Structure 1
Amino acid sequence: MLKHTLALALFACASLAHGADQPLRVGWVFAMANAPALIADKKGFYAAEGLKVDLRQFGDGPLLQQAVAAGELDLAYVGAPPVYQWASRGLEAKIIAKVNYGQAALLADAASAVTSVAGLRGKRLASLPKGSGMDVLLRGFVLREHARLDPDRDLGIVAMAPANMPAALERHAVDAAFTFEPFVSQALLRGKTRLLLDVNQALPNHPWYVIAALPATLAERPDEVVKLLRAHARAVAFLKTHPAEANRLIAAAFKLEPVQAANGAAIPAEAIVQEARKRLGWSARLETADLEFIQRLMDYSSALGFMGKPMNVADLVDTTFQRRAEQAVGQGGHQGGK
């Protein structure tokens, strides 16, 4: 607890030193699902709102959490599980908007005899580290709820970097892999793996990444937060209405390389993004169903022992800024593509 109290104190001091005349410091986990953050930047939607944004990229949630705890960020594009896990340990943040839905899938080698998730009993499964958001989704929903498998007894889960999973499948070091985009689409387009489960089909339109804001940011810079949410909504609309251009921007930002298919043909990088759209989409508005799913994730995490204390989603969500942003658009604010 002392560690978290110190982190909060550091944040408070940093917040006081960071005046409203400074850019809004926005961190984002470098995942395709968080594309609205880069689209808003690349297409000038932040600037169109008169908003100065310092957009900072992070390789994963734990690194972003360190920046939040140190008071180096004002808002974050991050998975819902990290936000409630932070809060359960004393590092408060509010979820103020939705970013995407879907992105996760379970893959098997194309020649594997395994045809369902339940067929993984006694097998080895590659996934992200234990306690991560993806791990919560895997253990809580995919294995326990969907397949009726005990993740600790019925199969072996091997922590592995997503980039290493396709090779592990091809070498038969594991029997399946649970990963996210663009790794899912890259593997499928190579033609050496097949889909065992698209989580977005099993849980249609379930939220994953969200925008989280620190309490001090909401209290001290509310108008800028509203402007950021307007820019975010424009980016989501652009992703839907200008898919070809958006796919090019995403492919370039994530430095995606063409994929070589099983027949030797080169599949362009933009096609990876287009393939990912089959399992991944974007939405800015938090709906009641989204909050219910986040509560479901929280319950999974609590049952798995990943939280410091039980929590209610109502204590973590603030939709007032979302409503203000929508009202501003309705009164003639910016919307749509550029």
Structure 2
Amino acid sequence: MTKPIPPAPFGRRAMLVAAVAMLPAPSIAQGAGQTIRIAVVRATVLAPALLVQQFLPAGWRTDLTPFVAPGDMSNALLTDSVDLAYIGLTIGIVARSREQPISIVANGAGKGTAIIVRADSDIRSIADLRGKRVGNIPLAIHEILLREELRKANMRIQDINLIRLGPADMPGALQRGEIDAFAGNEPNATLAVMGGYGRVLMFPYDNPVGTINVGVLSSDRVTSQRQELMRAWAEAHAKATDRLAADPEGWADLVAREWGYDRTATRRSIDNIELGWRIDARFESQLGAYIDRLQELGVITRKPDMSKLLVKSFVEGVRV
């Protein structure tokens, strides 16, 4: 069941989170059906959240709440308003670096980034971005990957002219000539290419940060006190993820139907998304590199304790 949250000023939203936190937590009786409260950002990379319900045991259900602001999602986890959050990994890293009890409990998806230039430009390499206006989401994974590619080309971020833009604003700014390129997400990268005014310069994954993108977060309270819930969810999350990964057409249909996204653009953008649920050696290596970059940029002042940041036991127990 989807329960949208209307836009609200900060004070009202904080009051809403606090009010929800006062509600009784779901029953944790062994063998009893439960409601799993899931926060999600409406994004193609996070579509498995929509399918978890289908793979839960009888009597279980999901309660999906869409969020926009990562900070609100972090607060919802910390106040026990939700059990799980499908979101980028940064809020978990930042929280745990501050010793707040939020952990990464599963992978979600990788890739989903592209560096797009104007189709009629003479930009053919990262080096050609020197002095150019580049649309950017500050400190998002897309900027981190852009920085990685600049590093490989012996360039600094100061060698380009970063233009702060929201993800959905990037294709239009490129089309109007207000920027020369952007490091953006899907499906906005695909929309620029489909519109004929954008061209893929590169998919920036050949670096230590690599393909890492989004995951699933939870709180220490949930992982320690609601283990039956976590086991049921982990099994369902894995099956939902594998189902969509094996059926990109169905994946596109689901996102278009549930979230109203353009079906054609969604389907094309899926070619640049890599669903996954396992916390494996590759994921841990890329996560470590990502954490290093966040520390270098001052987003975090110290690295989180990885033994607390990563709670791998639930996905490691999955048998699919």
Normalising by structure 1, report the TM-score: 0.81
1:63 aligns with 72
1:280 to 248, 253, 273: 273
Which stretch has the larger CA shift, 233-242 or 187-196? 233-242
Shift in alpha-carbon separation, 1:205–1:148, aligned structure 2, 3 A: closer
CA contact (8 A) 1:85 1:308 kept: no
| Aligned counterparts of 2:80 and 2:311: Cα–Cα separation in 1 | 20
1:143 aligns with 150
Find the residue that maps to 1:199 and give its secondary structure: coil
| Aligned counterparts of 2:246 and 2:187: Cα–Cα separation in 1 | 21
Residue 52 (structure 2) pairs with residue 40 (structure 1): yes
Residue 131 (structure 2) pairs with residue 125 (structure 1): no
Shift in alpha-carbon separation, 1:236–1:203, aligned structure 2, 3 A: farther
Deviation of residue 49 (structure 1)?
A: 5.2
* Matching of residues 74-223 of structure 1 within 5 Å: 74-128=83-137, 130-139=138-147, 141-144=148-151, 146-151=152-157, 153-200=158-205, 206-223=211-228
| Aligned counterparts of 1:182 and 1:136: Cα–Cα separation in 2 | 19
CA contact (8 A) 2:104 2:218 kept: yes
| Aligned counterparts of 1:289 and 1:122: Cα–Cα separation in 2 | 34
CA contact (8 A) 2:248 2:270 kept: no
Deviation of residue 51 (structure 1)?
A: 2.3
* Matching of residues 287-306 of structure 1 within 5 Å: 287-306=280-299
Q: CA RMSD in A?
A: 2.5
| Aligned counterparts of 2:127 and 2:58: Cα–Cα separation in 1 | 50
1:39-84 deviations in Å (ceiling 9; x for gaps)? 224xx223x4542321111124233223234432221111122210
| Aligned counterparts of 1:171 and 1:235: Cα–Cα separation in 2 | 39
Deviation of residue 103 (structure 1)?
A: 0.3
CA contact (8 A) 1:114 1:120 kept: yes
CA contact (8 A) 1:75 1:211 kept: yes
In structure 2, runs of 5+ residues without a counterpart are 1-13, 29-33
2:237 aligns with 232
1:325 aligns with 318
CA contact (8 A) 2:117 2:182 kept: yes
CA contact (8 A) 1:200 1:280 kept: no
AA of the residue aligned to 2:108: V
AA of the residue aligned to 2:280: E
Find the residue that maps to 1:217 and give its secondary structure: helix
| Aligned counterparts of 2:303 and 2:247: Cα–Cα separation in 1 | 42
| Aligned counterparts of 2:301 and 2:229: Cα–Cα separation in 1 | 32
Normalising by structure 2, report the TM-score: 0.85
Deviation of residue 233 (structure 1)?
A: 1.1
Find the residue that maps to 1:114 and give its secondary structure: coil
AA of the residue aligned to 2:81: E
Deviation of residue 311 (structure 1)?
A: 2.9
| Aligned counterparts of 2:318 and 2:22: Cα–Cα separation in 1 | 24
Identity %: 25
| Aligned counterparts of 2:67 and 2:312: Cα–Cα separation in 1 | 25
| Aligned counterparts of 2:185 and 2:69: Cα–Cα separation in 1 | 13
| Aligned counterparts of 1:87 and 1:240: Cα–Cα separation in 2 | 30
CA contact (8 A) 1:36 1:235 kept: yes
